[in-house]
A and B are shown apart, each in its own frame.
Chain A
Amino acid sequence: MYQYILKRVLLTIPTLFGAAALVFLLMRLIPGDICMIRLGGGGATFDPKALAACHAEIGIDRPLIVQFLEFVWGAMRLDFGTSMWSGKPVIVEIGARLPVSLEIALLATVVAVSIAIPLGTISALKQNSWLDVAVRIFAIGGIATPSFWIGILSILLVLDVSNAIRGSPWMPPIDYVPLWQNPIANLSMVALPAITVGYRYAAVSMRMTRSAMLEVMKEDYIRTARAKGLINKLIINRHALKNALLPIVTLIGIEFAFLIGGLVVTEQVFNINGVGRLFVQAVQNQDYTLTQALVMLTVAVFVFTNLAVDLLYGWLDPRIRFN
């Protein structure tokens, strides 16, 4: 198994490098540059000398090949450079935003798993009943509705309901406070985005749980278990669910990986100072180094999440061997 893990980790390196090289080229194909945006974005004219000084300062006046080699050399030393916008190391920029994105991703996962697995299971067991129909409508609603729209509506709902109850509107806090500093303020802020994102996440997982359970419940070993006289609860929990979990775990893993850096619009709607919003800012500002680093982070998250999921398979299904 360790060899398997090592092989997968080593395979990550060319994947990361390929993604970053692609972004390196694509970003530089976009006309304009960060200095023009920085100096002229407000509508004021700017001094050409200031523009030239800015270009020299961040090094985008150098030949592309020089910039690329510098980037590769830095990446090999795990030095991803400084943000062209702020001048701060990209590690610092990302590090400042990662905790809140991670917290929302984890909370959304908890919300999703808490809803998806029980409801998906019930839906499968009560196939074609009114309960099944209700759960399926709930799931389709979550898949069909954009999460940012749900987010906007949820904020408005909270504002209007609170206004009706207390006479003045209430809104969750819009500046992030770490959980250990003020749990109530922290959870007040992240609850709505986590529920909003978690709903869509749950909807997708719910449907997968339902279909996986339906398939497993038709298996011979389930019939055998019933014939042996096992109680239903044991059959579902010990036999059916565990075998149905493989595709569900895969899906949950992919969705979780997407949440890190993928919550672009949700973070805008809730004013979350997270990685998704940083991504938008980096692309809009044509901040090449930061965008490259964020892409590499996203790829790394996907790769390592998939690795974790694959390793989890081994625990879920003892038949699986990593050789």
Chain B
Amino acid sequence: MLARKWPLTILVATGCAIAVVLLSGRATAETPKRGGTLTYMIPADAPPSLDGHREATYALVHAVAPFYSVLMRVDPENPSDTTHFTCDLCLEIPTPTDDGKTFTFKIRQGVKFQDGTPLTAADVAASWHEIVFPRKGVLSARQNWYSMVDSVETPDATTVVFKLKFATGVFLPSLADPYAFIYEKKILDTDPHWYENNVMGSGPFHFVNYTIGQSIEGVRNPDYYHPPEPYLDGFKGLFAPKQSVRVDAIRADRAAVEFRGLPPSARDELTADLGNKIAVQTSDWNCGNLITPNSSRKPFDDVRVRRALLLAIDQWHGGPALSKIANVHTVGGIVFPGSPLAATKQELESMAGFWPDIEKSRAEARRLLKEAGAENLSFELLNRNVDQPYKFVGIWLVDEWSKIGVHATQKVVPTGPWFAAMRSGDFDVVVEANCNSIVNPVLDTQKYLPHDEFVENYGYYKDPVEADIYDKMLHEIDPVKQRVLMRAYEKQIVDVEAHEFPMLWWERIVVARSYVKGWKIGPSHYINQDLADIWLDQ
């Protein structure tokens, strides 16, 4: 009896062994490995300072975000979700009280700064106070995001309370600002400029070294409060403004990744050379170009001329073609396409500039130009001296406008003169960009407010109707009603008045060596950069 059972026993045992091997192999591939140093490229020269509160460049975030904690953040497990946020230092995202005007955060205990000082609610409050109410002589780059904040208080060592002047849906997402590093209160009290040249954080990595213009290094924080992260022993960020250097570095495995994004040509080059040693992630980018006619100049003060220019542009066909050579992809309105507040395709197609029938659209454009007496319109398109995707979009637009008989010449200038021309109103039509970190549509679309409401709008138009809609939207906390208002706002800007033309949303293409695991792409190059969840499958 026993002898007859042996073959079956062996079969079962072999089967179990195979199953164990297969399952353990799969478990190993999914289980993060600890160890290793990640070297990555930062596509810029050094940031102006190391202070997140005062700077606006991604070079700063890519360099120092790993050293710092924030109050709350985009979910690193799903950074593409534009509405879901998680706690970093907080224990849970609060539900507002007091008719939506009070947000009470409980702060995690046991967190320490690199110098061993315990982090308390006082540090969180002091940091946010510097952001929202910077003292004289202290620069806060995003102070205007928090105009609704009335006070930041700490009733006890574990609680931070934000009190608002009015209830609004934009506040909570804005707290997930990736630049909102939490600093030590005692350092801020002694010298509020200290963080410009120094690092003292409580994040997943401890600061080791910063060589000006060259590199920044960190090592694992053994006391990090989100165990088992970080997985890496350390990291090294190398500054390299030139794209060819970054691409070659990834090719030669001198660096594993560049987090901002590469153009399609670089992706294709690396994929062709390295095959499965390369992993590519793509995402819609919370950045898009917009075309702004100068409404203070003739003939752009005439809505018929503006509308004609908008109707001439075929984004539905231009997008797929341009995406092969430029970092653009998705057709969208003024709101980031991945957001619940964004227009659907049907809603877009009802607006000028998005009609599905381009011939009909261009015929209407020619009719409007004729009616306005601007049939042989000729003007200068001001553009910024940046290849991706400004110049590609500019060249494409000149061609699109030529199809309705408009002769546009492109004037490309460096960033400083570009800003100066916009601020002085010395241009006909300009190619701008609207780039934001957290997807916060109501805040992100402030850019479209009339100039007298929002100084950084360079269209130089007045539109009390638009301003009124925006104000209602800012104070609206019901998402359904907010969406209705956003549609009305967008229609007023784009379809009714053609104040601004939102162009193709950018496409973010991140190419990494395939052994880099754990990092997930999001819609912004500013977010999800603390490296805590990254591990190396080597």
Contact = CB atoms under 8 A, between A and B. Distances in A.
B238 A174 contact: yes
Interface in B395-424: 414-421, 423-424
Nearest to A168: B253
Nearest to B145: A47
Given A159-B252, A277-B45, A88 B197 contact: yes
Nearest to B434: A43
Contacts of B428: none
Contact of B416 (A31, A46, A268): A31
A37 B384 CA distance: 12
Interface residues of A, number: 54
Nearest to A54: B139
Contacts of B432: 43
A286 B48 CA distance: 13
Contact of A88 (B212, B239, B447): B212
B434 A45 contact: yes
B517 to A, nearest CB: 20
B167 to A, nearest CB: 22
Contact of B141 (A30, A31, A39, A159): A39
Contacts of B436: 44
A32 B415 contact: yes
Contact of A30 (B197, B417, B434): B417
B435 A38 contact: no
Contacts of B248: 155-156, 159, 171
A281 interface: yes
Most buried by B among A37, A44, A57: A44
Q: Which of A45, A53, A96, A273 has the most CB of B within 10 A?
A: A45
Interface string A34-57: 101111111111111110011001
Nearest to A286: B416
Contacts of B287: 43
A61 interface: no
B197 A32 contact: no
A155 B212 CA distance: 25
A170 B419 contact: no
A174 B197 contact: no
Contacts of B254: 171, 173-174
B249 A174 contact: yes
Contact of B415 (A37, A47, A168, A277): A37
A96 B417 contact: no
Interface of B: 45-46, 48-49, 55-58, 134, 137-144, 196-197, 211-215, 236, 238-242, 244-245, 248-249, 251-255, 273, 287, 414-421, 423-424, 432-437, 446-447, 454-456
13 contacts: A32-B416, A32-B419, A33-B416, A39-B56, A41-B415, A43-B433, A44-B437, A53-B134, A168-B253, A169-B251, A174-B240, A174-B245, A176-B211
